[in-house]
Amino acid sequence: MSKTLRFAELDARKSHGGAKIAPVARKPKKPSCEDCYFQKNLLCSLELDEPCTTFRPDRPEGLVPPKQPVLLMRPPRWASGAQAA
């Protein structure tokens, strides 16, 4: 029974003599002031060596607010006490 190889696996076997190579996880690029929305649009007045706490990446969509955590609703405390009685 022959195993069907995916396109990327075929290329890896051709170029590396059949040796299996584990994929390498890329480290995320550290943010810098040059990548900041405020710096690119001349809105930053700080002269720091590293990004400040207001750093926002400069994206084609413009200024994007940071993601907020999901709000999980719990039952009220009085509801759980009434069931125990």
pLDDT per residue as tens digits for the range 5-62: 555 555 555 555 556 777 777 877 788 888 889 989 999 888 888 888 888 888 899 8
What is the number of structural domains in the chain? 1
Residue 69 lies in a domain: no
Does residue 76 fall inside a structural domain? no
Looking at the whole model, is its pTM more than 0.75?
A: no
Q: Residue 17: inside a domain, yes or no?
A: no
What pLDDT does 33 receive?
86
Domain assignment of residue 34, given as a range: 27-61
pLDDT digits (tens, 9 = 90+) for 57-79: 888 998 888 788 998 888 888 87
Among candidates 32, 29, 30, 35, which has minimal Cα distance to 51?
Answer: 32
At 81 the pLDDT is: 60
